Chains A and B, each alone.
Chain A
Amino acid sequence: MRVFYFTEQAYPDAWSAPDQSLRITLPNRHCDPRVAHELYKRYHDEWVVADKLGYHIMINEHHSTPTCLSVSSNISLAILARITQKARLLALGVPLANRVDPLRVAEELSMIDVISGGRLEMGFVRGVPYEASAAVNSPIRMMDRLWEAHDLILKAMTTHDGPFPFEGEFFNYRNVNVWPRPLQQPHPPVWITASSARSMAATAERGYVAATFLTGYATKPLFDAYRDAWRKKHDGEAPADRLAYLGMCAIGKTEAEARRRAAHCLETIASNTRIAPAFRNPPGYATIADNVRFMKSGSVQRPSATKSGRFVNLGAATIDDLIDAGVVFCGTPGQVLEQIGDFHHAVGAFDNLLMMIQCAALSHEETIDSMNLFAEGVMPHLDGLASAMHEQPVKRSVAAG
């Protein structure tokens, strides 16, 4: 199993004002650029440590928020391309539906792949709902726009005989001819994030890696949707390396230490709901039928399923709820390994574990300690977990006939 180290590169000092929305509207006078400078340096140093410890690295981006100082996955990746040696470099991702100029995305990703010596994993995401308000493009038909941008980028990376025109519904170019072309042939691996059975199936049909974020024990039906769609479209079973799960990890030498660190996980999850109501669910992001359901229930968030079958509301969850939900893996290395094992067993084989080990105000020292504990006490045993899983007959949710 591949483990990708992940941090959102937060600016936690600005979280103290309790009533502030942390997205879109928080004035940037709350950002001290000298503090941000130190934070960037620190996060970059931690990536170097992650690379040495055998992690791969995942990068993301957000906008108009102190929860994530990375405003461009590609800028973070460009730095990583030179300061790391071995790690696969995953952007998860580039919010394609919000990008005005996907040709530029194709150029930058190609350049990063070449600089890094072919270590790029190319993740495309639709973009979170609340950032539609900070983006140029509208939240209407985002998936259609994402796929058209994707088509352009892939064609740009795989066309080697001179310029071609691209005259699409959303994007128009006169002469597409990307220099340099990517080092990995025919192109770097493509990842897509998915939170519905439909987008899981669309990703499976294209053979790309599908990732889900913090979906806990509700991940199983999503992964199964991928596996079912794969069986219909391709021969055989979906390879486990095409599935990825992002969870949080609070690890310590003792359970008490881990639980202290888990406070930062709680704060991060709570930050996801610290959004002014107007921005939570922009028009067009969800279907009309879903919007009717939201208005009836008064909530945009679905409760998350847990290992024990309970449903918990993530916004109001305790650390035990989050552990039970498979959203946070928390405890000593042994406990974390056991929780990941249980989760892996429940949702079926997946070979990419995206671990948010640093979040909120978890200090540099605690972050390095957590990375070491996970690398020594958990990571070496994950391959055994995966192969033990593979030896078992694959349990199918739907008879494949």
Chain B
Amino acid sequence: MASRRESGKRLAVRRTPIEKFADARRNAPAVPRSRQALRGSDRGKKIFFLFTASRPARVEEAIIERSERQLSEDSIRRETIDVQGVKTEMLTGGTGDTGFLFLHPERGMRGSETFLRKLAATGHVIAPHHPGYRLDAPDHFKSVDDLSYFYLDLMDALDLRNMTLIGASLGGWLAMEIASKNTARMSSLCLLSPAGVKTSDRTSRDIVDIFSLDAESAEAMSFHDPNRFATGIDTSDDMELELVARAREASARYAWLPYMHNPKLSHRLHRIDIPTFIIWGNDDRMAPPSVGHALARRLPRGEFYVLDSCGHYPHIEFAETVAAQISKWREQHVKSAPDAVKGAA
């Protein structure tokens, strides 16, 4: 598949409604966000609000391929994106400016789709596969620190502003790595039982070693109610098998040693100066809620919330509840001056 960069020509992709609208808006004067938000009745008419006037052309350049295939009736679709030469695929859904950037956990995107659909009902969400989880990562990508620079570049390339960064488990670790470097494009942070910061002594682990568990045991330990949520693998579906294999390999690439944490991150938490909502399952058998409690105390604006009857992946076991909580959190903490992005064009 030739990228636009290689061919110098745009791929012949049918324009989606959101793009047509973006085209129409491109030359129009920017409407202040506060006024856009007031025109809620327009939502029924499927009009999409975009900051296209101020959005630079490179945003569109980063997206090199779009899938017209609808992944669900709720309009989650796939896009292939090229950020500084690193390609990955992302799921997108919802309307308006990107409100949510979701960083998937070590299991990959598997199981997160329902949550993304629920979230998309409240705002535009993008959920990239981390490099390696869907397409090959460059050889020099070896740590979550490396991934964090990929996402800083991605946020620049898509000119994301005022968005809520959400990360689950390994994705939560990644979210903290990103936020510890630069929070200018974010208004708030949501961490779902995040890895990344070690709280225990040197002969203990905060998180169960998934690489010492067989797949079935790891799946069973991940949920309060594995009978309802543990996802069996469909061995007739080669793509699903590939995603499972890739998730395991990519997680080992980023989190093998030190296992699921970066010893330096705990010394950088003071830099995460945005409101941070930490959600943890009370029955998390992969990492106990005490880890989250300790972490919340160390984050400058951390708030800790424990979900009952919930395991390690709250957004999978309680997709609707968690999406609603995050949406509410976002509304409470949207910055008053959304365009004031330091360093953004």
Q: Which residues of A contact B (CB under 8 A)?
A: 133, 136-141, 144, 169, 276-279, 282-284, 288, 291-292, 295-296
Contacts and interface: CB of A to CB of B under 8 A. Distances in A.
Contact of B242 (A140, A278, A283, A292): A292
B139 A141 contact: yes
Nearest to A141: B139
Interface string B138-169: 01100000000000000000000000000000
Given A278-B212, A295-B241, A296-B241, A138 B233 contact: no
Contacts of B139: 141, 144, 169
Given A138-B256, A140-B256, A283-B253, 6 more contacts: A136-B257, A137-B257, A140-B253, A277-B214, A278-B214, A296-B241
A167 to B, nearest CB: 14
B336 to A, nearest CB: 45
Chain A to chain B: the 7 pairs with minimum beta-carbon distance, closest first: A138-B256, A291-B245, A283-B252, A277-B214, A283-B248, A283-B249, A292-B241
B86 interface: no
Interface string B209-228: 00111100100000000000
A140 B252 contact: yes
B211 A133 contact: yes
A100 B213 CA distance: 25
A139 B242 CA distance: 18
Contacts of A137: 257
B26 interface: no
A291 B233 CA distance: 13
Nearest to B256: A138
Given A136-B257, A138-B257, A284-B249, A276 B214 contact: yes
A98 B94 CA distance: 47
A37 B215 CA distance: 39
Interface in B231-250: 233, 235, 238, 241-242, 244-246, 248-249
A276 B217 CA distance: 12
B246 A138 contact: no
A140 B142 CA distance: 9
Contacts of B276: none
Given A284-B249, A288-B249, A295-B233, A133 B212 contact: yes
Contacts of A138: 252-253, 256-257
Nearest to A298: B235
Interface size class of B (residues with CB under 8 A): 20 to 34
Given A136-B257, A138-B257, A282-B252, A295 B245 contact: yes
A295 B244 contact: yes
Q: Is the interface of B mostly helix, strand, loop or mixed?
A: helix
Question: Which of A144, A278, A279 has the most B CB atoms < 10 Å from its CB?
Answer: A278
Interface string B179-222: 00000000000000000000000000000000111100100000
Contacts of B251: 283
A284 B211 contact: no
A292 B245 contact: yes
A296 B252 CA distance: 22
B253 A284 contact: yes
A140 B246 CA distance: 12
15 contacts: A136-B257, A139-B256, A140-B253, A144-B139, A169-B140, A276-B214, A279-B212, A282-B252, A283-B252, A283-B253, A284-B252, A288-B242, A291-B245, A292-B245, A295-B235
Contacts of A295: 233, 235, 241, 244-245
Contacts of A276: 212, 214
B5 to A, nearest CB: 25
Contacts of B244: 295
Nearest to B213: A278
A292 B241 CA distance: 6
Nearest to B236: A296
A278 B211 contact: yes
Contacts of B253: 138, 140, 283-284
A140 B248 CA distance: 11
Contacts of A279: 212
Question: Which of A137, A283, A296 has the most B CB atoms < 10 Å from its CB?
Answer: A283
A296 B212 contact: no
A144 B256 CA distance: 17
A133 B211 CA distance: 8
Contacts of A169: 139-140
A138 B212 CA distance: 13
A138 B211 CA distance: 11
Question: Which of B213, B235, B245, B252 has the most A CB atoms < 10 Å from its CB?
Answer: B245
B246 A288 contact: yes
Given A276-B214, A277-B214, A296-B235, A288 B256 contact: no
A144 B139 CA distance: 10
Contacts of A283: 211, 248-249, 251-253
A26 to B, nearest CB: 14
A99 to B, nearest CB: 15
Contacts of A277: 214
A276 B213 CA distance: 9
Contacts of A296: 235, 241
A106 to B, nearest CB: 24
B34 to A, nearest CB: 48
Nearest to B140: A169
Contacts of B140: 169
Nearest to A135: B257
Nearest to A292: B241
